[in-house]
């Protein structure tokens, strides 16, 4: 009976030893790249920045930055101005600057009294020249309101009081992912130089290339809730302050890393990125 027990026990022992010496399963690697990094405590304004572009860069609401820094509409900022980008821990009342004291008015010495000079003889009245006919004021240049491009995608979808439409034609290459900072919008593949349109009516609040990772970028404010952005353009056709209509031509598509012609399109709601497909027409 003893040899039989040993024969039965040996395979079991051998299996345990081999399992202990074999490779162990690796622990899952946590993804630490999800989510955008927190904004710095403060930011020094650079030439070309706007309050909207700074808020866009750090995923903040431009109205919050304005409140934190005591900036009123139209949110004008200046180069080298230091902005607070985090909510103050305690509300500190800032004493209003004292009103400028008026300089005391020094009494002027009275002029010495003297006899008035004799009145000069009245000049002989001359016949009045005929009044020249005033020239008509120059006519103000007539500027027709912006209109949508007939070639722009015409299908619309009403969300948030706005009629949204696709910003360009092409193939959807990459979709939105809230956990990936590189996918805060959608990427649409097309041809270099093809038209890029305003997805809804609004006002241009940024037009430039100062935001890293966006190339030539246009940001449009549609209302107090929604903003949209159009990145990686070859050419920008609007400037800050322009009012644009839905479907108006605003840029021409460029290439990303000289490889693929593509538009990067984002929509922010109260400063936070949302999936553009929730607002754009489907089908």
CATH of residue 60's domain is 3.10.350.10
- Region label for 19, one of left (φ > 0), alpha (ψ between -120 and 50) or beta (otherwise): alpha
Kindly report, residue by residue over 82-105, the tens digit of the pLDDT: 898 888 876 544 544 443 333 444
Say yes or no: 176 and 269 in one domain. yes
User: Model pTM?
Assistant: 0.65
> Is there a domain that residue 123 lies in?
no
Say yes or no: 161 and 79 in one domain. no
Query: The tokens of 19 are what?
Result: 């399992």
Q: Which residues contact 152 (CB under 8 A, 6 or more apart)?
A: 165, 195, 197, 247, 248, 249
CB 267 within 8 A of CB 276: yes
Kindly report, residue by residue over 226-257, the tens digit of the pLDDT: 999 999 999 999 999 999 999 999 999 999 87
> Is there a domain that residue 4 lies in?
no
Domain hosting residue 78, numbered range: 42-84
Number of structural domains found in the chain: 2
Say yes or no: 170 and 80 in one domain. no
Domain end marker among 84, 99, 117? 84
d(CA 74, CA 52): 11
Domain end marker among 84, 114, 141? 84
Domain end marker among 66, 84, 102? 84
Say yes or no: 176 and 261 in one domain. yes
> Is there a domain that residue 119 lies in?
no
> Is there a domain that residue 52 lies in?
yes
Kindly report, residue by residue over 121-174, the tens digit of the pLDDT: 555 555 555 555 555 444 444 444 567 777 788 899 999 999 999 999 999 999
Kindly report, residue by residue over 20-37, the tens digit of the pLDDT: 444 433 333 233 333 456
> Is there a domain that residue 70 lies in?
yes
> Is there a domain that residue 172 lies in?
yes
> Is there a domain that residue 255 lies in?
yes
> Is there a domain that residue 21 lies in?
no
CB 167 within 8 A of CB 188: yes
Task: Name the phi and psi angles at 84, rounded to 5.
Answer: -85, 130
Q: CATH code at 244?
A: 2.70.70.10
Say yes or no: 165 and 259 in one domain. yes
């Amino acid at each position: 009976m003893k040899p039989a027990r040993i024969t039965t026990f040996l395979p079991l022992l051998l299996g345990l030893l081999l399992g202990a010496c074999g490779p162990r399963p690796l622990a899952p690697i946590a993804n630490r790249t999800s989510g955008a990094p927190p904004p710095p405590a403060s930011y020094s304004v650079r030439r070309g920045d706007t309050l909207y572009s700074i808020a866009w860069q750090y995923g903040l609401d431009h109205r919050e930055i304005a409140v934190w820094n005591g900036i009123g509409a139209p949110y004008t900022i200046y180069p080298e101005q230091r902005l607070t980008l985090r909510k103050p821990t305690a509300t500190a009342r800032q004493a209003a600057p004292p009103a400028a004291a008026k300089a005391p008015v020094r009494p002027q010495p009275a002029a010495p009294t003297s006899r008035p000079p004799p009145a000069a003889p009245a000049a002989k009245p001359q016949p009045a020249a005929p009044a020249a006919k005033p020239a008509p004021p120059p006519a103000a240049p007539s500027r027709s309101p912006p209109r949508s491009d007939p070639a722009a995608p015409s299908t619309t979808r009403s969300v948030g009081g706005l009629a949204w439409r696709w910003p360009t034609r092409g193939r959807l290459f990459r979709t939105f992912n809230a956990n990936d900072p590189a996918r805060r919008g959608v990427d649409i593949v097309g041809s270099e130089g093809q038209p890029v349109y305003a997805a809804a009516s609004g006002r241009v609040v940024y037009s430039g290339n100062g935001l890293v990772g966006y190339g030539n970028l246009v940001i449009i404010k549609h209302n107090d809730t929604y903003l949209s952005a159009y990145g990686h353009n070859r050419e920008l056709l609007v400037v800050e302050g322009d009012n644009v209509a839905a479907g108006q031509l605003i840029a021409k598509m460029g290439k990303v890393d000289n490889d693929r012609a593509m538009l990067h399109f984002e929509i922010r709601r109260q400063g936070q990125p949302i999936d553009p497909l929730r607002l754009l027409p489907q089908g």
